[in-house]
Amino acid sequence: MVTQRPVPALRHASMRTISLITLLLVLTTVACGAAANRSRAAVSTTTAVARRDTTTGSTTTVARASVGTAPTSTPPAVPPTRPPVAPAGGPWTVLASSGGAPVVWGSSNQPLPAQPNVVASYAAFDPTRLHAALFNGTELPGGGPWTNGSKVVPALVPSLVAAFNGGFKFKDMQGGYFTEGRVVKPLLVGDATLAISRTGELTIGVYGTDLTNDGSWVTLRQNLPLIVDDGREVVSTARERGQAHVYWGDNFGGVLLDLRSALCIRTDGLMMYAVVGNVDINGLAAALIGAGCKRAMQLDINGRWPQFLTFDQPGTSSRAPIALDTRMTHLDRYLTVGSKKDFVALFDPMLLPPNVLR
């Protein structure tokens, strides 16, 4: 006699199988939906920023990461070699934002163990998310008229993010100065060059090797040879590079140990302004290498000239300057009084008005 399996048991098993299949389908749908959401989120973290060519008025759209994505992450810490000093002993603090995301970070340390009285302050920034412009001082370069004169005009004040000093006087350097379509002083092959593209992106390089005056730059401002290249100090090799008579500068009393400023490209791709003092040129290079600089050029020196400022109340017409370092003085020169020497200003491209800058 054949025993037949009860039908109710088979029905219940089938129902359990169907339930399991249904559950798997639901879980698969949820997982797919979550993946799609993650994909959409990944796409939405990048927005478009229009960079304006200040010479033609045309715009170029470039990708700009929004809040929380990689370009807004805090730079690697500057390694403190001594107890923390103001404003911070190695960690970075946000100094300014652009488009609602951090874009300038500040830090400070004592970079030279053998010289504990030397203090360095740093401002790292993302040049791809800022629009840079060179402003021309009343004495350096003088002349004019200039579109970008000795101070930031009121129409540009709401979009101003930061500003910092330029380089040496012409009498103290052999290099050149080109801006707003004018060669004020002939450019020198082999010199370190601060360069600003037509869309406002800032970089540094060696003239004749990395860049030339080929029409793609609105500013080429030279200041002596590089002091750091490929993460190594190259001050001592200036003679080998055919630059035997480089004057690296001293203070008003002829002393080589001085407050010095510099601009560099970091190993993480950010740019960084630094002020270090009191040091000679080799001490400046050592501090920059320790802070993560891959390539660096010296800017101006002496107590009253090195200056990096951010500004409060972004987006408004009333902006008070905030110094990176307490050794910085004459904080009103870029906004109200006017500067005797050239300086670089960094603007939020989202707030920058058209046809005001060169």
Both 243 and 319 in a single domain? yes
Both 34 and 135 in a single domain? no
Query: Would the pLDDT of 153 be above 60?
Result: yes
Contacts of 286 (CB under 8 A, 6+ apart): 111, 112, 233
Domain that holds residue 26: 1-44
- Amino acid at the residue 190: G
Mean pLDDT across the stretch 106-114?
92
Query: Would the pLDDT of 29 be above 70?
Result: no
Q: Which of 52-56, 157-161, 343-347 has the lowest mean pLDDT?
A: 52-56
Both 28 and 78 in a single domain? no
Query: Would the pLDDT of 6 be above 90?
Result: no
Q: Is residue 111 part of a domain?
A: yes
Please tell me the distance from the alpha carbon of residue 60 to that of residue 51, in angstroms, as a whole number: 5
**Structure-model confidence comparison of residues 56 and 258, the more confident one:** 258
* Confidence label for 254 from pLDDT (cuts 50, 70 and 90): confident
Q: Is residue 254 part of a domain?
A: yes
Q: Is residue 353 part of a domain?
A: no
Both 93 and 33 in a single domain? no
Q: Is residue 139 part of a domain?
A: yes
65 phi, psi to nearest 5 deg: -70, 140
What total number of domains does the chain contain?
2
Query: What predicted TM-score, i.e. pTM, was given to this entire model?
Result: 0.79
Please tell me the distance from the alpha carbon of residue 265 to that of residue 268, in angstroms, as a whole number: 8
* Confidence label for 224 from pLDDT (cuts 50, 70 and 90): very high
Is 137:118 a contact under the CB 8 Å cutoff? Answer: no
Both 210 and 259 in a single domain? yes
Both 31 and 148 in a single domain? no
Both 28 and 70 in a single domain? no
Contacts of 54 (CB under 8 A, 6+ apart): 133, 198, 200, 218, 355, 357, 358
Mean pLDDT across the stretch 271-276?
97
Please tell me the distance from the alpha carbon of residue 358 to that of residue 356, in angstroms, as a whole number: 7
pLDDT on residue 91 = 83
Q: Is residue 253 part of a domain?
A: yes
Q: Is residue 251 part of a domain?
A: yes
* Confidence label for 126 from pLDDT (cuts 50, 70 and 90): very high
Both 40 and 61 in a single domain? no
